[in-house]
Amino acid sequence: MIRFDGVTKQYPDGTVAVDDLSLTAPTGKITVLVGPSGCGKTTSLRMVNRMIEPTRGSISLDGQDTGRMPQAELRRGIGYVIQHAGLFPHRTVLDNIGTVPRLLGWDRKRTAERSRELLERVGLELHLGDRYPAQLSGGQQQRVGVARALAADPPVMLMDEPFSAVDPIVRDQLQDEFLRLQDELGKTIVFVTHDIDEAIKLGDQVAVLRVGGTLAQVAEPSYLLAHPADDFVADFVGRDRGYRALQFQATPRLPLRSERTVVLGERPEGSAAWLLVVDDDRHPLGWVEPARIGGRAVEDSDLHRGGTVARAGGTLRGALDAALSSPSRRGVVVDDSGSLVGTVLAHEVLSAIEDTDRPERDEDDPVHGGAVAVAADEA
């Protein structure tokens, strides 16, 4: 657990980057610091491993004051990932990953083994290990950056906009893999981003900071979307927050209807305006208008593929989106193996939404409402 206690950073010229920040990043969870530029999020992060020293207040790591720990040793025990990866250009990928183990005095053999293990763990092929950073794509470099931070298996990781310099598709992929990795590793992570979508996607707990370095609100993402503490947070969280909040709400029992289907390559029957086309395993492929193809067999080129597919037991956002994006207005729902379960209409999803409760508001503490439960050592 990382705990900020009344932490302030004031620069010699008088600028206050962080103002009296008190915050707890619980063990094994991802705490995201988010806010506009100038809100002190990066400064806050860098004070944890003392890249920046706080002016006032203290930061403790599992109850130990970091200000009293030797700087280099403190840092070697904390994984550190930054925006442009910051790989050492003169070292191979494997040597980059092995940096901290070597600093800690591991021998070459053990370091090399560990580096190779991590290379695979972050989804890179082994043959990339002998390359130099300049020979990698931005996304690959970022993966190496994560691997380097994980090398000595530190319990705590600091990540400063690690995915913001890569293109959106790669970013999405990296985020997904990061979450998968975190499921396995359960690190205590402080993650800085300016992107509220990223914050909501990744955070177990999201801390919104405002310019001047004060904490505006800290809460679970769903709570933040439902109950922004003030206009600033509401504004920052964005206009479509109501819709986005749906992604945190699991689908209740939706009234699924059974859908008439036609297998690709067969003739459609009946008089329906839209028919769902599936393959032999009942995986939905797309929609077809029987009237347009005039009684011949359905060909691949007849398919309308516009619709998204929702997973049964997935989120309300997924279900609603499937309905909204479907050419027939009937949202396709599949099971975990991708086979058709049924379809759902938008108004049925909306009724389901109306029947679910919004996240509870904690009346006592608007700023810390809904924050991830912290063990009793909070007191």
Partner 1 sequence: MASSGGSALVIGSLFSWLLDPAHWSGPDGILTRLLEHLWYSVLAMVIALAIALPLGLWIGHTGRMRWLVTATNAARAVPTLGLLFAFALWLGPALRGNLAFLLPSTVVLVLLAVPPLLAGTYAGVEAVDPAARDAARGVGMTGWQVLRQVELPCALPLVMSGVRTASLQVVATATIAALIGLGGLGRLLVDGIAFGDYPQAAAGALLVAVLAVLLEGLLALLQRRLVSPGLARTRRPVGGSRNDDDAAAVEANARLPVGQGGIPGGSS
CB of 134 to partner 1, least distance (A): 5
User: Of 39, 85, 276, 310, which lies in the binding site for partner 1, with binding defined by CB under 8 A?
Assistant: 85
Closest CA to 64 of 50, 52, 80: 50
Which of the stretches 11-19, 80-88, 259-267, 314-322 binds partner 1 when contact is defined by CB under 8 A? 80-88
Q: Does 134 bind partner 1 (CB under 8 A)?
A: yes
- CB closer to partner 1, 150 vs 229: 150
Q: Binding pattern to partner 1, positions 253-292, x when CB under 8 A?
A: ----------------------------------------
- The verdict on 87 binding partner 1 (CB under 8 A) reads yes
Q: Shortest Cβ distance from residue 257 to partner 1 (Å)?
A: 53
From 24, 44, 99, 247, residue interacting with partner 1 (rule: CB under 8 A):
99
Residues 36-75 that bind partner 1 (CB under 8 A): 49, 51, 71-75
Return the residue of 133, 268, 286, 369 that touches partner 1, per CB under 8 A: 133
3-state DSSP assignment of residue 2: strand
Any contact of residue 80 with partner 1 (CB under 8 A)? yes
Of the residues 8, 27, 67, 91, which one makes contact with partner 1 according to CB under 8 A: 91
Instruction: Choose between 128 and 303: whose C-beta lies nearer to partner 1.
Output: 128
Least separation in angstroms between CB 85 and partner 1: 7
| Residue 153 in the binding site for partner 1 (CB under 8 A) | no
Q: Does residue 137 interact with partner 1 by CB under 8 A?
A: no
> Cα 291–293–299 angle (5° rounding)?
135
Which residues form the interface with partner 1 (CB under 8 A)? Answer: 49, 51, 71-77, 80, 82-92, 99-100, 103, 132-135, 145, 148-149, 158
